[in-house]
């Protein structure tokens, strides 16, 4: 839900991120003044390798990146990574809604970057990419066993309308694809013939929060008998945006919490500016509901605000912080678990829907939508 969560003042992150940044900064300041033995150890090794190694072919900055990646590799955090400046620029644009995408999500598996989600009707889906395909190279840049899936995902992104070239391994066959990046439409809404409002959300960020508010207000003016909130094909994002958007549906109370290290917990509560707090609500979800989307589905179900329909969500129950380092480089690492209003942690197991419905790809009918409409009509 790649949550990403995410993310700092730069990207309107978690309120809790401030805690991490402050402690991070304080640690740097103390070490600069006192010089810890660990810091001196790293510095001594860096100087020896940089100045005296017969085999070193890397610049000082490349060695620094390698040292940071070595530390991240040692902490067993699948989401920890160093994001270099070019990819970091795309990261910033992602959380302000100013980037083009191709409609896939990839993860690190067995020292490879493997596609785990192909979003329907996107450039990747239309070109024929599949779940399980291994990404070998992006625009001629080969990915090695140390490649970070999130950074490679950011490399795939770029200006809407531009082309990205992917080299893919499928079984023993090497395939190549040219994909045109599309502008992401975060929110789409319409009134259904039955008098039900429908709204879909594809990601959680600053732009999406505002678009959701505007779309909900426009739907509510039309006095629908119920709402369907579609969280399928949602890649997650900023947990602050999740709080904002949930607050449009829930008037008060706990929405979710973040469980940090050293026993710290931060609660995310409804902000008291609900737009659609009373109207009957159904949420659609499946395995493409990721990160913050899962958080929202759990909150709607556990608070009794509405019904969730579909199949199990992806199962990402952790939160990342992304902190600027020097020269526009970013450091991302997992800082918290998110827990539902009832304290549940859904890592790896996913959020279960209250009403299980499987969409049959062999039919033209959207079985989840059909069930949602019937559920809302039965409440009349």
Q: Which tens digit of pLDDT belongs to each residue from 176-212?
A: 999 999 987 789 999 999 999 999 998 898 889 999 9
Q: Where do the domains of the chain lie?
A: 100-183, 187-377
| pLDDT exceeds 60 at position 9 | no
> How far is the C-alpha of 131 from the C-alpha of 117, rounded, in Å?
6
What order do you get walking across the sheet with 196-201 strand by strand? 187-191, 196-201, 226-230, 281-285, 307-310, 355-356
Looking at every residue in the chain, the average pLDDT score rounds to 87
Are 100-183 and 187-377 in the same CATH fold?
Answer: no
Q: What are the pLDDT digits (tens) for 300-337?
A: 999 999 999 999 999 999 999 988 998 889 999 999 99
CATH fit for domain 100-183, picks 3.40.50.300, 2.30.42.10, 1.10.760.10, 2.40.10.10 = 2.30.42.10
Confidence grade of residue 94 (pLDDT, cut at 50, 70, 90)? low
3-class DSSP assignment, residue 190:
strand
| Cα atoms in the Cβ-side hemisphere of radius 13 Å centred on 90 | 18
**Is 291 in contact with 314 (CB distance < 8 Å)?**
yes
Lowest model confidence (mean pLDDT) among 24-38, 50-64, 327-341 = 24-38
**Is 118 in contact with 124 (CB distance < 8 Å)?**
yes
Which residues fall within 8 angstroms of residue 223, CB to CB, at 6 or more apart?
A: none
Q: What pTM value is reported for the model?
A: 0.76
| pLDDT exceeds 70 at position 102 | yes
Lowest model confidence (mean pLDDT) among 4-8, 44-48, 126-130, 298-302 = 4-8
> How far is the C-alpha of 185 from the C-alpha of 65, rounded, in Å?
35
Q: For the chain, what percent of residues have pLDDT higher than 90?
A: 58
What is residue 35's predicted lDDT score, i.e. its pLDDT? 64
Q: What's the burial of 5, exposed, middle or buried (CB within 10 Å: 0-12/13-18/19+)?
A: buried
What is residue 110's predicted lDDT score, i.e. its pLDDT? 82
Query: 187-377, what's its fold?
Result: 2-enoyl-CoA Hydratase; Chain A, domain 1 (3.90.226)
């Amino acid at each position: 839900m790649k949550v990403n969560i995410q993310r700092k003042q730069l990207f309107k992150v978690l309120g809790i991120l401030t805690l991490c940044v402050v402690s991070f900064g304080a640690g740097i300041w103390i070490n600069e003044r006192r010089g810890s033995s660990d810091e001196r150890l790293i510095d001594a090794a860096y100087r020896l390798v940089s100045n005296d190694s017969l085999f070193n072919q890397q610049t000082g900055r490349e060695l620094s990146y390698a040292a940071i990646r070595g530390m991240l590799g040692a902490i067993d955090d699948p989401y920890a990574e160093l994001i270099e400046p070019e990819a970091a620029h795309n990261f910033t644009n992602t959380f302000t809604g100013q980037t083009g995408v191709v409609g896939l999500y990839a993860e690190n598996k067995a020292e490879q970057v493997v596609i785990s989600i192909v979003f329907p009707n996107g450039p990747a889906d239309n070109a024929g990419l599949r779940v399980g395909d291994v990404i070998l190279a992006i625009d001629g840049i080969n990915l090695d066993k140390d490649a970070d899936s999130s950074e490679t995902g950011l490399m795939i992104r770029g200006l809407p309308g531009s082309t990205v070239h992917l080299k893919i391994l499928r079984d023993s066959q090497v395939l190549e694809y040219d994909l045109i990046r599309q502008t992401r439409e975060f929110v789409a809404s319409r009134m259904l013939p039955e008098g039900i409002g429908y709204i879909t959300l594809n990601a959680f960020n600053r732009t999406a929060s505002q678009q959701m508010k505007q779309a909900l207000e426009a739907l509510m003016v039309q006095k629908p008998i119920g709402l369907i909130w579609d969280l399928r094909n949602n890649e997650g994002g900023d947990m602050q945006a999740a709080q904002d958007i949930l607050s449009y549906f829930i008037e008060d109370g706990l929405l979710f919490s973040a469980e940090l290290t050293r026993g710290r917990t931060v609660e995310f509560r409804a902000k008291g500016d609900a737009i659609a707090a009373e109207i009957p609500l159904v949420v659609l979800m499946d395995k493409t509901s990721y990160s913050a989307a899962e958080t929202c589905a759990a909150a709607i179900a556990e608070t009794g605000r509405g019904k969730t329909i579909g199949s199990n969500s992806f199962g990402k129950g952790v939160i990342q912080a992304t902190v600027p380092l020097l020269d526009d480089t970013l450091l991302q690492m997992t800082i918290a678990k998110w827990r539902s209003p009832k304290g549940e942690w859904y890592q790896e197991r996913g959020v279960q829907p209250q009403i299980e419905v499987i969409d049959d790809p062999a039919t033209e009918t959207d079985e989840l939508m059909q069930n949602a409409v019937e559920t809302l009509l039965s409440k009349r």
